[in-house]
Each structure stands twice: as structure tokens, then as C-alpha cells.
Amino acid sequence: MKRFLSKAQKYIFIVAFSLFIMGGLPLEYGEENVFFQGFQIEKPVIRIGLGVNLKDVTLSSSSGMDIVEVKNNFRLIADDVKEVYIKGHQEKLKERLWIQVGQEKDKEEADNLAQKLRFLTDRDVVVSMVEPGNISRGYRTKIGEFSTREEALDHINMLSEMSFADTWILREEIALGSKPLLLLFDKDPESLKEDTVLYFIPSHSQSYLSYNERNYKGVFILHASQKGLVLINLLNLEEYLKSVVPSELSPYTFPEIEAHKAQAVAARTYAIKNMGSFAELGFDLDDTPKTQYYKGMNAEHPLSSDAVNITRGEIALYNGTLIDALYTSTCGGMTENVENIFDGPALPYLRSTECVYEKQKEWMLKSTRTILPITINGRNVSGEIAFLLGQGVIDKTIDPIFYMEQVGMDEAFSWVQRAVVVLGRELKGQNVQPSPLTFLGFSKLVVEAFGWKEEVMNLFQQGEKDFILKNLKKIDDDRMNYIAYLIRVGVVPSVKEIRDPQRLLLRGELAFYLGRALKRFDATVHKGVFKYLQDGEAVLQAGMKERSLKISPDVFLLENDDKTPSFSKEISLIGGEQVSWIEKNEMIRYLEVLNPIRSNVLDRYSDYHSWRVRVSKSRLERRINKSYPIGRLIDVSPLRRGDSKRVVELLVKGIDASVIINGLRIRSALGVRDTLFVIDREYDGDSAITHYIFTGRGWGHGVGLCQVGAFGMAQAGADYLHILKKYYYGITIENTY
């Protein structure tokens, strides 16, 4: 039975709880819990920033929350509140511009640079720590502040003349002024001072809190900062990871638990390594991909949660020290050395590695039969014939001559009858005469058999029918409506091939149209991913489930590249291929490989494995000039590439200046997905560049764990330890709990 606390007991807890939070959150990996009225947060805890400079915040709870004011003393404002509205204000933010001149690992080196600059400029020279999310964790030396971009660009030109070439503009925001808050819930509004700190604590052990249509475990903290109102979610680190892991690596698109276990260890290591990154705002990490993507309970998935639970407490170390566990979505075939992308030193565990699996297996699917191209009216219809044979709709030969002969109504009826059985329906026998089959007869037979008659009558306008049939011989026959419908939904590709509605059909035509009609129903074909062969059976991933099916010796094997299927007696697969198949009696009779994979690179499954971006010269010029004072753009060209062939030094030539851009700043300056690219140019009639075309691979910074590559490696049979040790050289995995 749940024990409720008195108000006096709550005050005692509030003092203890507040001292615990405000006194810091040391990472003690024990079984200690923080209790409050049956609600508990287990250590270690983490503070995640959900929003900065907020206005008009609405918070709610699934079954009540307590609101506590914390300042010099502690006050319980309300018990068991379902929803609260904080009427605040949005701070007016002022943008400050600075010029970064250098970034050093040691503060002493940054101070020395700053001292030198103070003799060369009348501006303020400041040394500050690098912002969260940067691997170097060094110190940047900057000059400022500047009120306009033009003023900053003039100063960059001056620095360039003094041989300070690697400079760029930084933008910072500060809040101007603040105002009191107003707290509204189920009683009179409560006015609070601007420096108030509020805790929102679930009243019951199973309660959760909500903000912006997302649900969160743990408690909320709301307080003012130099950047306006800040909302923080304080919760257990492992519970936090159950949201981060599926947010970073989708379990729906990449459902391999070993990949999610690797992601869990990397995310846990990153979180602990970066604790306190936003200390000036009162939290450790934010909820954006800048640190780690966190979407609360809404993102949780059983697969990812299992991965977090199985690896509970596990972190990655190098020589006994936490690593900078960087990860990138798609590496494009090879990761890069960290020092080529981020400012800072070379790290022995973040070295370039090829995104392939040395133990990659291959499986050969074989069949005793294939089917020759069967061409009807200039179209290869063998794919649809194989599809119907696999479904058991056709039980005749694959001899091309057979399909070039005319078909009778009685034979067509038997084919359609078997087709609807595939859908779990029944087409009762009729007194069908062995008369020739016309387009009119076929259209009525198919529309009525598949239950489309109601659509023709009620969802199909006469004007639309007239438009579709305008180039077809007009016949006063209601079955013309059926023909129009079949054209509209794509069963019959065009009106041109009909020619005459009373024309007789060939068997190949019937097979082609009937196959297209049947494929409109999802239930006719299973879709999923081929994983591997085991004991003569194909293991397939269908959604979140695995299935193991025998393969018929005379299975139809097809490869479908760009909607053009081709038959083969054998197909080589490495796992991960998208396939569709037909099964009868737990046996695959037809298997089609969709868009066959032509590479062994592990991140081949990513939509961003390859990409192409075309941008006008004027647009690129405007983008570059936001940070670099080049004036009119002349050209851009790579100066140096890293081990992964990423561009790590880029020369940008302008009328006013030429600059060399390094590392990750190249991606930002050009607006590309990754720095693994080549450049093409388009010219006008005067041989002047009009557009740049960036053809590249990958998405992200390209350093550390390749997330989609981890999925590919897991599909090939690797466990999470092998995955982690492939992308992070020389590490050990230890459990700190």
C-alpha cells in the first residue's frame, strides 16, 4: 500500500532533496535512491535541458505533481496538481559577434595568444572554454565584441594581413532584462520572483510529467538564467538512455539489438564524459543532436530498452579513461581521424577505419528453373507470369508460345477465381462459356471479382471517365466504366494499348493485367529483409519479427533494379537486402530482391550513403560570406583530404580575400551533409560558373562509431563488443555499477 507523507515530512524531504541537487550530482554508481512520497530516482542522475528562453510553459502530470519553490527557504506551493501554467516572458536576446582567432588544448597557450593579440588590437580579447559538443574541450581565443557583421569582417581582414588566417565569426546571444513569473493552476494565480527555482515532482511512484506533448520520467526544474527561463528534466541516467538510443538509431529502420547495445554503450560514455557541459544554465546536456537526441518516454522502444538494460553501467575506456565516444549517422564507407575534423589533438582511439566487416558472409540462393522473356505487345510480361505461378493462380507452362495465344472466358474465370482465393475470398462458380475474352469482358470480370464495383459507381465521376476514354472507340456499354477505372488505378497502363474495347486478349495480356490487379493488395506479397541462410532455410526480418522459411527448389528468383525485374538461377546475397516473396505451405515459391546491393560497405542501408546537392554560385557565395569575408566568390577547391578522402582543407577564393577552411567548418560553410564529396561545376555561355554540384557520401562529421555501419555489422553477425572495438581502437569495456 502506498504511503503518503504529511506536509511536515514533505518539507524535510524538500530540504534534503534540494541540497542533494544544488550541492552537485557526483556520479556514484551505487544502489542509492532519492525518495519522495513513494517516488524515487535512482543514481546516477543526469540533468537534461528541455528548453531555454521559454515563455508560457504548460506542464502536466499523468496522476498529479507537487510544486515546490526553492530559494533561500523551501515552500510547498501545491499538492497533486494535474496541470500548471507558468506565464513567463521571452527574454529579448541580443546577438554579440566575436572573431575566433585560435583554439588551444591548454589554457596557458590560449592565454599566451590572447596576450599577443592585446598588443595588436584595441578590442577586448577573451579566453573561454569551447562550447559543449566539441571534441577538443580546449580553449578558444576570441576578439570582440562587434555590433555589426561588417565591422567584424573588417577586423578579420586586418588580422589576415598580420598572418592570422584561420579566423571566423562567432555568434553569441545574451538576454536583456527579466520579469517576474505568474503560476496558474487550480487556485488563485501565484506571483513569483524572477530568481525563483521551481521543482515539479510526481506525486505518485508511477506518475510521469509532460511538456510539449512529450512525456518524461523523473522531475522537472524551472529556473531563470542569463538566457531566460530554463526547463530541466532530472532523471536516472539509464532511463535517459532508453530514450536517447532509439532517438539516435531507429529500432524501426535498424532493428538489430547488437547495434543498439553498441549505441547504448557509446551514448552512456558520451553522457558521463560530458556531464556539466551546460553548467552555467544548470544542466548537463541538452535534448538536441548537438549533444544527444532525447525525446522523453515517447521515443522508447522495447528493443532499445533491452539494449540499455543488458549493457547497464557499461562504458568505453582507453587506458582507464573515458573516451570521447563520438558517433556519426553514416560514414560513407570510411570514418576519419578526429584531428582532421575537430580542433584538437589526435586521439589514438578515434582513427580512420574502413566501414566493412572482415568476417562478412555471402549466401547463394539457387533455383532449378527460370523463365525466358515473354514479350506481348512490346512488353516483357514474364515478371507477372512468375508472380501468378508463385501464387498458384496459373498452373500451366512457362512456354512463351502458350502466352501468345488467345484466351477464353472460361479459362480467364478460373485464373481470377484462384486469384481471389489468394485474398481469402471466394468467387462462386458460374455457367461460364468458353467464348473468347474481350477487354470488355475482362474488365467486368476483374472489377466485380476484386470488389471494386462500388468504387466505380460511387467514387468515379462521369467527367473523369470521359476524359480517360476520350481517345478510345466509343461503345454504348456500361462495361466501358470498368475499363476507365482499370486505367485510372494503373491495372491497365494506358488507353493506347486497348485500341478496341472489343479486341480479344492474349493469355500474356491477361496474366500481365491480372498480376497488376492482384499486386494492389498488400496481402498477396510478403515484404522484409533477407538476413541469412541457415540449414537450407532463409531467415527473413518482417517488421520486428524474424521468420525462417524453406526455399522451393524451383523458386522463381528475381532481381529488381529500378523496377526492371530480371530472372536468375542463382543470386548472391550478403544480408540486409530488401526482398518480397510469395510463400505456400511455409515454403518460398517466388523471391524478388528489390534494388540489389552492389557494395559490401556496412552503411549501404542508409538513405544518405550517397547524395548529390546542386547549389547556385550566388547562394553559396551568400552562405560563405556569413562567416568569411571573401566578397564575390571566385571558386572553391579542396586542398587536402584525410585518410577517408574527406575534404579537411578547403580553399575558398573571393574577390576581397581567400580563406582556407578546415575540418567540420567546411560542412557548415558549404551547407553539405558531409565533407566526403567531389565538386562539379556548371557554366553559362561566357564560361562563368553558375552552379556547384557536390556529389558525396555520408551524413555527419564522420568520426567514431558509424551508426548505420553498426547496424550492418550486427546484421552480419557481429556482437556489440566487436562493433565498438572496430570503430574505437584499443578500448576496453568496463561496468562501473
Q: Is 484 in a helix, a strand, or coil?
A: helix
Rounded to the nearest 10 degrees, how much is the dihedral formed by the CA atoms of 116, 121, 122, 124? -60
pLDDT at 95: 67
Short-list 237, 209, 233, 236, CA closest to 282: 233
pLDDT at 551: 94
Q: State pLDDT tens for residues 495-516.
A: 888 889 999 999 999 999 999 9
pLDDT at 13: 46
507 CB neighbour count, 10 Å cutoff? 25
pLDDT at 89: 62
pLDDT at 131: 61
| C-alpha–C-alpha distance, residues 472 and 467, integer Å | 10
Q: Give the side-chain half-sphere CA count within 13 A for 232.
A: 26
pTM of the predicted model as reported, rounded to 2 decimal places: 0.78
436 to 86, 409, 432, 537: CA distances (angstroms): 77, 6, 11, 44
pLDDT at 429: 64
pLDDT at 642: 96
Q: Is 234 exposed, middle or buried (0-12, 13-18, 19+ CB in 10 A)?
A: buried
Which of the residues in the chain have pLDDT under 50? 1-31, 36-37
pLDDT at 229: 84
301 to 242, 243, 246, 708: CA distances (angstroms): 8, 8, 7, 18
pLDDT at 431: 67
pLDDT at 93: 56
Residue 680 CA from chain centroid, whole number = 28
Cell numbers 537534461: residue: 48
pLDDT at 110: 77
CATH superfamily of 92-176: Sporulation related repeat (3.30.70.1070)
Residues of the chain with CATH 3.30.70.1070: 92-176
354 to 145, 357, 382, 581, 644: CA distances (angstroms): 43, 9, 41, 33, 8
